[in-house]
Amino acid sequence: MKRSLFLLGMAAAALSSCTNEDVVDVAQNRTIRFDTFVNNNTRAVTEVTTENLSSYYLFGKYGDVTGNYSVLVFDNEPSSAIAYWTANKYYAFGAYANGNGNQIDNATFDANTGKLTFPGYTPDDEKDLVAATARAEAGADVTNKDAVPLQFAHMLSQVKFTFKTKVADSYTIKISDLKFNAINTADGSYSKTTESTTGTIDWTENTSNGDYTYKVMFDIANKDMDYTDSDVKLVIPQGNTDQISVTFTATLSGPGIDGEVNKEFTANLGYEAGSISDTEANTWTPGYRYNYTATINAEDIKDDLKEIEFTTVVTRWEDANDTTVNPSEKQ
């Protein structure tokens, strides 16, 4: 029999921009350089941050006017590749990091619209996908051209499940077969029309569903783990999360239990935005982590258990007889 379980979904804001800057530089002062920093920091999965962004991939073109770029400069090349400014030209750049050092062979960049596209992308927890675009004007003097600022945005969301229990350490509660079916492959895109606008992330093209499968949590009733365990995955941002259900099996064993008892649970993954204004109800927004928490106790798994309860009485302090002392001078 399946049992429904209420999961509390929480989104942690991850929109604080990093102030540290890493200047990717080379010796010649005519080269095209980039200042890179990553916003919307995530945690728990293998992340890309301003501090650990060691490599990324570049697209770039230039032309005679803004919005009409025709000459290729970078073509999905690593950030170690060197190119040089051409005077009095207008440039458009696209950049991405798929984790660190992982090229997306079919990635494309439309310089005229400022749109990066990642066709048929499926998340991998080792590859935090970030993307950025930028425009620049070379000017007449290119010998000391400033580095191009690349502000990378996280393309994916994180969905985490945290399980808690009040069951004593002498019991074992295992969580297994934890999964949900949702969009897990899509054409992703990042676009920004001007430097002053906010980038737009879209995952609505050529979508297909699949299972997101989480690790087995072998014993959440473990005092050394503070009676809690969790797992997190990178997911495709998407709406209608209230139509997505997670399922899992909880297994109970320990004193008073004959062998192992299993029970299947299901829960809805709806989300209430509450005070986090940049998120939407029932939507996983790029750059945010969503933590769904549940408390599982033995009686949730086996119905006929009777909890050991205690009544408490503390004995009173009693007064002994008073004793008189006669102090004398200390010798």
What is the separation, in whole angstroms, between the first and last Cα of the chain? 84
Phi and psi angles of residue 301, each rounded to the nearest 5 degrees, phi first: -95, -40
Is the pLDDT score of 123 beyond 90?
A: yes
Report residue 16's pLDDT band, with 50, 70 and 90 as the boundaries.
very low
Starting at the edge strand found earlier in the chain, the sheet holding 34-38 runs: 22-24, 34-38, 148-154, 129-137, 90-98, 57-63, 71-78
- What is the DSSP pairing of strand 261-268 with strand 2-4? parallel
pLDDT at 25: 38
Token couple for 148? 């191009």
pLDDT in tens, 17-43: 333 333 343 344 577 776 655 554 445
pLDDT at 198: 81
pTM score: 0.86
Share of the chain above pLDDT 90, in %: 77
Lowest mean pLDDT among 33-47, 107-121, 152-166: 33-47
Q: Considering the chain, what is the average pLDDT of its residues?
A: 89
Query: Which residues have a Cβ under 8 Å from the Cβ of 28 and sit 6 or more positions away?
Result: 82, 84
pLDDT at 20: 35
pLDDT at 43: 52
User: Domain boundaries in the chain?
Assistant: 2-10+157-186+204-301, 14-154
Report residue 11's pLDDT band, with 50, 70 and 90 as the boundaries.
low
Query: Which residues have a Cβ under 8 Å from the Cβ of 18 and sit 6 or more positions away?
Result: 37, 38, 39, 41, 49, 50, 51
Query: Which residues have a Cβ under 8 Å from the Cβ of 59 and sit 6 or more positions away?
Result: 74, 75, 76, 93, 94, 95, 107, 108, 109, 111, 116
Check the CA dihedral 318-319-321-327 and report its sign: positive
Report residue 116's pLDDT band, with 50, 70 and 90 as the boundaries.
very high
Lowest mean pLDDT among 54-58, 125-129, 187-191, 196-200: 196-200
For residue 228, the tally of other CB atoms under 10 A from its CB is 15
Amino acid code (one letter) for 208: S
pLDDT in tens, 201-218: 999 999 999 999 999 999
pLDDT in tens, 48-79: 999 999 999 999 999 999 989 999 999 999 99
| Contact (CB, 8 A) for 178 and 248 | yes
Is the pLDDT score of 46 beyond 90?
A: no
